[in-house]
């Protein structure tokens, strides 16, 4: 391997697992490297950082990350991550998974972990469909979009993920597209260092399925299209950030608040008992 | 505030659910996740009080899918963990029970069985999930399932369940039932030092040489926890010894064979049963859980009438004591199997007895057999 072939984030990648399974032009590679840069810049001890996913194309990210990594079952990454974090509060636990995984089959876990304010970070790659199973519609597919199970156009209203996250109690909520590399990286770094339940949505191209069927061009074109269509609006009320098929994509950091976490609220009976003895 | 110790050494009068909770704490369990369900709720209630007293975590999850996953996660962080449920929740746990089998994660899943299917009879006893315990998750695997018959055994076998789970790296099942869970009896809790505790094997090599799933002689790999610098890689996909996904028939053969063999080849270490009056027995009752109590009385009554009756009380229903059943079938005239279901474990008894003797199923739903119901069958066999 020549010097030029060494990826700057090599120490955080399981290089012996390359090549990865993702299609060329997929946004996942970019999203992955933003995460790695953020992790690197965070200054966190990576031996104490854990990454967890469910199932899907996005769900393959942990397996390529050279830190403790758990690739669980479809939809169940959040409760698994909850167990890890509560059992060892020293860990920084990040869930990296897809829109279908986190908001269809796993939706209930998402809202409850946010409500409890478990100190974990959720990064959701929203590619508007179930990429891994061949591009069926999911909970974020825009109305009228074509997918393999909505051949006449999707007739279900989608979730606005950042609105769901904010409404469920997340203390940090942001949305970027895959091409907002610098801003996305900064947001992930902030989330990693933030105490409480954080949520970042990445609008990301799936040229093989969603992009192709909705005539969004190849991966780069789809990625550029999302970025061009975006407007940065920090602090805007998440209810005003709905996405539709060809409309504007509002991005930015929408929520950044503080409140006690699940662990902060644990009764410290042991030290109370200690005090009573004195 | 009065804080109780982790091990409540002494004599108590407690129900099976509470005894299970105390057994968990005594075994070193410091993480419990559950969702309320009759007749297992008392385990949650007890542990919501007890966990904070011993520096552990109690969390009430949004459902049983989440509960099962939370205990898997906690165990991966190195903390012994447990959940408890009944039929409907057991069904929801099955998917990720399989994840625990595949990732080889020690933990304990308690099922206080009630009547089913579906919502069934929430407050009445059942033993209808015995086959689900064996086969309820998809794919091929072996399980360990224990069936306590008393509150004392709920304490003792909860500790044993943790020990087996740590030793063999898998979720271990306690397949109790409503009668045992809700029955109140004397429970003796030994001194802390007298309780045998097993902990998972830690990696013997440094992170550079450690392989997640390289088995040792006992077919069980050493386990690195999250946060220890080993760069754990675990997946529910079929994987190689490194833990890397391997989508080949060879990898599936190798991994699944080992997962089965680590139980099959160590079965003598795992299997436990108790025998009463079996030496010269011609008519044998094979029972587990609460019906084993009636069965014991039934064979004693039969002995009083001069009938050569005996009992095998099966404690590890899975792995099933195949060889012992064959041995008994070879000597006996009949084996009677009382169960609170339509006849589940009797199928195993039939399979293992290889037609060497008559096998009589004694199914009953929602209630325990009385000793006389079992005695009558013993007498019928004796008279023919
Ligand atoms: C219980 C269960 N149901 C269905 C599947 C099949 N499945 C695998 S990935 C997937 C969808 C993934 O979509 P998403 O989470 O959006 O991830 P993407 O592939 O788009 O990144 C489905 C339905 C499964 N693995 N498990
Ligand atoms: S199917 Fe879509 S999301 Fe999956 S790797 Fe290919 S382009 Fe990416
Ligand atoms: Mg998707």
Task: Give contacts of A48 with chain B, Cβ < 8 Å.
Answer: 227
Element (H, E) at B275: strand B273-276
**Rounded Cα gap, residues A97 and A94, in angstroms:** 10
Residue A2 confidence class, pLDDT cut points 50, 70, 90 = very low
Identify the pLDDT of residue A245.
87
pLDDT in tens, A33-62: 999 999 999 999 999 999 999 999 999 999
pLDDT of A251 higher than 60:
yes
Interface test with A, best of B33, B48, B56, B70 (most A CBs within 10 A): B70
Identify the pLDDT of residue B72.
98
**Percent of all residues in chain A with a pLDDT value above 90, rounded to a whole number:** 91
CA B38 to chain centre: 19
Tokens of A54: 């469910």
Nearest beta carbon to residue A63 from set B1, B78, B233: B233
Classify A142 as helix, strand or coil. Answer: coil
Domains of chain B are 10-194 (3.40.50.970), 273-382 (3.40.50.920)
Tokens 């899918």 correspond to B65
Of B165, B120, B125, the residue nearest B145 (C-alpha): B165
Smallest CA–CA distance from A88 into chain B, residue: B77
- Inter-chain touch A84–B235, beta carbons under 8 Å: no
A73 in contact with chain B, both atoms CB, cutoff 8 A = yes
- Inter-chain touch B228–A76, beta carbons under 8 Å: no
**Phi, psi for B266 (deg, rounded to 5):** -110, 20
- Is residue A269 within 8 A of residue B53, CB to CB? The reply is yes
- Is residue A145 within 8 A of residue A154, CB to CB? The reply is yes
DSSP E strands in chain A: the ranges are: 49-53, 68-71, 92-98, 121-126, 172-177, 198-203, 230-232, 249-256
Residue A58 CA: which ligand 2 atom is closest? 3
**Percent of all residues in chain B with a pLDDT value above 90, rounded to a whole number:** 98
Write down the mean pLDDT value for chain B: 97
pLDDT in tens, A6-15: 676 889 999 9
B134's CB contacts (< 8 A; 6+ apart) are B143, B145, B318
What is the average pLDDT across A133-137?
A: 98
Question: Residue A264 is part of a domain; what is its CATH number?
Answer: 3.40.50.970
What is the average pLDDT across A219-233?
A: 96
Tokens of A51: 């990454």
The number of folded domains in chain A is 1
Query: Does this model's pTM top 0.95?
Result: yes
Q: With a 6 A CB cut-off, is A76 part of the ligand 1 pocket? A: no
- Is residue B170 within 8 A of residue B143, CB to CB? The reply is yes
Sign of CA dihedral B37, A103, A30, A148: positive
Classify B9 as helix, strand or coil. Answer: coil
Q: With a 6 A CB cut-off, is A22 part of the ligand 1 pocket? A: no
Identify the pLDDT of residue A270.
76
What is the per-residue DSSP string for B224-263? PPTTSSS--EEESS-B-TTS-B--SHHHHHHHHHHHHHHH
What is the per-residue DSSP string for A198-211? EEEEEE---IIIII
Identify the pLDDT of residue A127.
98
pLDDT in tens, A175-225: 999 999 999 999 999 999 999 999 999 999 999 999 999 999 999 999 999
Tokens of A125: 């790659």
User: Is B188 exposed, middle or buried (CB count within 10 Å of its CB: 0-12, 13-18, 19+)?
Assistant: exposed
- Inter-chain touch A87–B233, beta carbons under 8 Å: no
- Which range of residues forms the domain containing residue A237? 3-277
- Inter-chain touch A76–B61, beta carbons under 8 Å: no
SS in 3 state form for B277-328? CCCCCCEEEEECCCHHHHHHHHHHHHHHCCCCEEEEEECEEECCCHHHHHHH
The CB density around residue A137, as the number of other CB atoms within 10 Å, is 24
Of B247, B178, B237, B243, the residue nearest B210 (C-alpha): B243
Size of interface A-B (CB pairs under 8 A): 147
The CB density around residue B116, as the number of other CB atoms within 10 Å, is 20
CA distance A217 to chain B (A): 31
Q: With a 6 A CB cut-off, is A132 part of the ligand 1 pocket? A: yes
């Amino acid at each position: 391997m020549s010097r030029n072939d060494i990826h700057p984030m090599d120490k955080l990648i399981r290089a012996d697992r390359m090549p990865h399974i993702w299609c060329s032009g997929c946004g996942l590679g970019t999203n992955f490297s933003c995460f790695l840069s953020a992790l690197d810049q965070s200054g966190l001890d990576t031996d104490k950082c854990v990454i967890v996913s469910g199932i899907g194309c996005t769900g393959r990210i942990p397996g390529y990350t050279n830190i403790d990594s758990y690739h669980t079952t479809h939809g169940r990454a959040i409760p698994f991550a909850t167990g890890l974090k509560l059992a060892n509060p020293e860990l920084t636990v990040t869930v990296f998974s897809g829109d279908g995984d986190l908001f269809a089959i796993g939706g209930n876990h998402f809202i409850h972990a946010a409500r409890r304010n478990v100190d974990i970070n959720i990064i959701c790659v929203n590619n508007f469909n179930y990429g891994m199973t061949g591009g069926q519609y999911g909970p974020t597919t825009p109305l009228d979009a074509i997918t393999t199970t909505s051949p006449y156009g999707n007739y279900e209203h989608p979730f606005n993920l950042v609105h769901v996250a904010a409404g469920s109690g997340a203390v940090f909520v942001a949305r970027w597209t895959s091409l907002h590399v610098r801003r996305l990286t900064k947001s992930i770094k902030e989330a990693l260092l933030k105490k409480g339940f954080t949520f970042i949505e990445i609008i990301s191209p799936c040229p093989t399925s969603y992009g192709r069927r909705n005539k969004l061009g190849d991966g780069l074109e789809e990625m550029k299209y999302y970025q061009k269509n975006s407007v940065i609006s920090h602090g805007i009320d998440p209810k005003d950030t709905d996405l539709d098929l060809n409309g504007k994509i509002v991005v930015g950091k929408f929520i950044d608040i503080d409140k006690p976490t699940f662990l902060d609220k644990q009764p410290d009976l042991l030290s109370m008992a200690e005090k009573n003895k004195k | 505030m009065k804080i109780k110790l982790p091990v409540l050494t002494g004599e108590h009068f407690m129900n099976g659910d509470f005894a299970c909770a105390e057994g968990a704490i005594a075994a070193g369990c410091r993480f419990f996740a559950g969702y309320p369900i009759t007749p297992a709720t008392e385990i949650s209630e007890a542990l919501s009080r007890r966990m904070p007293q011993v520096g552990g975590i109690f969390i009430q999850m949004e459902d049983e899918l989440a509960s099962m996953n939370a205990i898997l996660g906690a165990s991966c962080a190195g903390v012994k963990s447990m959940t408890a449920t009944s039929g409907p929740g057991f069904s929801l746990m099955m998917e990720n029970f399989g994840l625990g089998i595949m990732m080889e994660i020690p933990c304990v899943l308690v099922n206080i069985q009630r009547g089913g299917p579906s919502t069934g009879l929430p407050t009445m006893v059942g033993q209808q999930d015995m086959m689900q315990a064996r086969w309820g998750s998809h794919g091929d695997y072996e399980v360990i399932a224990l069936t306590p018959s008393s509150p004392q055994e709920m304490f003792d076998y909860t500790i044993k369940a943790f020990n087996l789970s740590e030793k063999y790296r898998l979720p271990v099942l306690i397949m109790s039932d409503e009668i045992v869970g809700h029955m109140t009896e004397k429970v003796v809790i030994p001194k802390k030092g007298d309780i045998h505790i097993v902990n998972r094997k830690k990696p013997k090599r440094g992170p550079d040489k450690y392989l997640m799933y390289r088995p040792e002689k006992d077919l069980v790999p050493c386990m690195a926890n999250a946060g220890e610098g080993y760069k754990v890689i675990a997946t529910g996909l079929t994987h190689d010894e490194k833990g890397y996904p391997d989508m080949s028939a060879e990898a599936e053969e190798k991994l699944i064979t080992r997962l089965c063999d680590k139980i099959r080849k160590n079965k003598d270490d795992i299997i436990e049963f108790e025998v009463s009056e079996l030496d010269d027995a011609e008519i044998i009752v094979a029972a587990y859980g609460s019906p084993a109590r009636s069965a014991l009385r039934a064979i004693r009554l039969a002995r009083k009438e001069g009938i050569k009756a005996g009992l095998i009380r099966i404690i590890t229903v899975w792995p099933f004591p195949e060889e012992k059943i064959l041995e008994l079938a070879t000597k006996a005239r009949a084996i009677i199997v009382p169960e609170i279901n339509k006849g589940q474990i009797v199928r195993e008894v039939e399979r293992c007895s290889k037609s060497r003797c008559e096998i009589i199923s004694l199914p009953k739903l929602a209630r325990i057999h009385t000793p006389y119901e079992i005695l009558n069958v013993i007498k019928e066999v004796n008279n023919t």
